[in-house]
A and B are shown apart, each in its own frame.
Chain A
Amino acid sequence: MNRYAYTLALLILTLCIGLGVAIGSGAASSITAVDDDHGLTEPETIDQFDEIGVAQASVDQPMVSLTIADRAEDVELDRGLLDSDATSTYLRVQYNESIDRELRVFIPAEYWHPVSAEIDAENAEVTAEMRPTEDGRYTAVTVEFEEQTDAVFDVPKEASFVFWTRDRSRDIINETFGYEPPQLSTGGEWQYIDSGELATEQTIPIDTSQGATIQYNDRVESANESDDNWLSVPRCSRAGAAVCTYTVDGDADTTYLLTQTSDPPQVRYKAGDDPVEAGSSILRDLRSIPDRVWGDLQSLFTRGG
């Protein structure tokens, strides 16, 4: 029985940890944030969309054209005879550069109510991640382009309606009972500090008056590619961390980020304590442990050999 017990216990314990940590995947890289700095946010463009059902804007840096339309033909998308435009709003993103870039643009709520969704392009191999911004005025659309791409995304009006209903219900509960239902995710946009901007023992103040979620990129290098692995920045009481945070008595609204190595990792932060991100970070941290143990073992044998 001991042999069975040994094997099964090992398998189940490994499986349990693996299962837990596998959930918490999720990656993001440094983002080129166009945000609301484009013509689609202009009131005239929004009025034009209301009148003729199509609006267009261009961005010079990076070179991107944005089109929002109610009809597929306005974004040059071929649909089947049975497909209807009645339940769709189309977002066309024409990325006119050849370099790999992750792009983020804010689409005002006047075009569609902000939704949380991941939508594959109808005509290209890219996916748009859509999240409502913290103030609820925009949908933050993030797309990772690898080359010059013309991508059309079909944003279903049903999804927009569901999110409108949810937000409206939240408002009604808040107005009627004075109680704001809790939200799991705070939304909000990440601000990035690239590793090149950080030096050894540098201190960076971060405004935490509304709370903050601060993470560093414990990048995992594999044979073919490097995967981002965002983990919560630990407190400075724990030795050995590449970056850490500390607070100063009498200044509760600021958290200081301290680098403790000559090669600090990329850091990102956003306003508000985000429980979903905190949980994901813990699971990603657990998932990284086998790699760290393996790395230490390898370095041990390398040194020994």
Chain B
Amino acid sequence: MGIPTSITGWIALFGVIVFIIIALYATTAWTIVVGGLLLILGGYIAYVVLYRVDRLLKHGSLR
């Protein structure tokens, strides 16, 4: 346990924090469910984008 060292780790950490906030402040259970699904979708998009950016910065190519 500690500070994440990978893209996935950072995304997961922020996702968990935001999900906890949603769970604490949502008024209905459906809000928590939909919020969680949106986070998973957002996390996946973030992962794909960051993975590409990482490749671009390290190798100068998206492949």
> What is A's interface to B at a CB cutoff of 8 Å?
1-2, 4-6, 8-10, 12-13, 15-17, 20, 218, 231-232, 234-235, 238, 241, 278, 281-283, 285-286, 288-289, 292-293
Contact = CB atoms under 8 A, between A and B. Distances in A.
B5 interface: yes
A6 B10 contact: yes
A9 B10 CA distance: 7
29 contacts: A4-B50, A4-B57, A6-B10, A8-B49, A8-B53, A9-B7, A9-B10, A12-B42, A12-B45, A12-B49, A13-B18, A16-B46, A17-B18, A17-B38, A17-B39, A20-B34, A20-B38, A231-B28, A234-B28, A238-B29, A282-B30, A282-B34, A285-B26, A285-B27, A286-B34, A286-B38, A289-B22, A289-B25, A289-B26
A16 B11 CA distance: 13
B35 A16 contact: no
Which secondary structure dominates where chain A touches chain B? helix
Contact of B46 (A2, A8, A231, A289): A8
A61 to B, nearest CB: 36
A218 B28 CA distance: 13
Given A1-B54, A289-B26, A16 B38 contact: yes
Given A17-B42, A286-B34, 11 more contacts: A1-B57, A4-B53, A13-B18, A16-B45, A238-B29, A282-B28, A282-B30, A283-B34, A285-B28, A289-B21, A293-B21
Contacts of B18: 13, 17
Pairs of residues from A and B, 7 with the lowest C-beta to C-beta distance, nearest first: A16-B42, A12-B46, A285-B31, A289-B25, A292-B25, A5-B10, A20-B38
Interface in B12-50: 14-15, 18, 21-22, 25-31, 34-35, 38-39, 41-43, 45-46, 49-50
A230 to B, nearest CB: 11
B46 A13 contact: yes
A14 B31 CA distance: 16
Contacts of A218: 27
| Interface-central residue, B22, B25, B49, by most chain A CB under 10 Å | B25
Contacts of B57: 1, 4
A17 B14 contact: no
Given A16-B39, A289-B21, A9 B26 contact: no
Nearest to A296: B25
A2 B15 CA distance: 16
Contacts of A293: 21, 25
